Amino acid sequence: MEELLKEVAQENPEVESVLVIDEEGIIVYRYDKETSIDPEEVATQLVNPLNTLSEFIQDISNEEDDLKELLLFSEKYQFLAYKLINETYLVVVAKRSPLYGRMRFRVRSKLPKLIKTL
């Protein structure tokens, strides 16, 4: 799993950290480049909103599936979160870039491998 996370980070120069977290915010796997923010804090703070939004989407859409992807942008950073399996999430912390679509595509292309590896 660590190799896959490293691959995601190395393919995208703007990525600073890639984490797999569980529904309680505990980091299951992680790969970090040099980063100026605390990836553990990001994971802990994102998990509650992810769970809440996932429940919200199920409630309003009557879908079996729930949250698939969440993108957040700040002035300096972008955060991508993807639902994996068994209440785990992939969280990507990256420097803000106008080419975020390219990064998003590259990360999404790795999701099947990540899910299979989990």
Pairing of strands 27-32, 69-73: unpaired
Find out whether 45 and 21 touch, Cβ atoms under 8 Å.
no
pLDDT at 64 over 70: no
- Which pLDDT band holds residue 70 (cuts at 50, 70, 90)? confident
Q: Judge whether 56 lies within some domain.
A: yes
| Mean pLDDT of the 84-106 span | 90
CA distance 55 to 50: 9
Inter-axis angle of helices 2-11 and 100-117, nearest 10: 170
pLDDT at 102 over 70: yes
- And the tokens for 33? 């480049």
Q: What is the Rg, in whole angstroms, of the alpha carbon atoms belonging to the chain?
A: 13
Tell me the three state secondary structure of residue 10: helix
- Whole domain around residue 77: which residue ranges? 2-113
Q: Judge whether 69 lies within some domain.
A: yes
Domain tally, the chain: 1
81-90: pLDDT as tens digits: 998 888 889 9
- Which pLDDT band holds residue 7 (cuts at 50, 70, 90)? very high
17-53: pLDDT as tens digits: 999 998 888 889 999 987 778 878 887 788 788 778 8
Q: Judge whether 24 lies within some domain.
A: yes
pLDDT at 59 over 90: no
CATH number of the domain to which 9 belongs:
3.30.450.30
Q: Judge whether 118 lies within some domain.
A: no
Higher-pLDDT residue of 60, 104: 104
The confidence score (pLDDT) of residue 66 equals 67
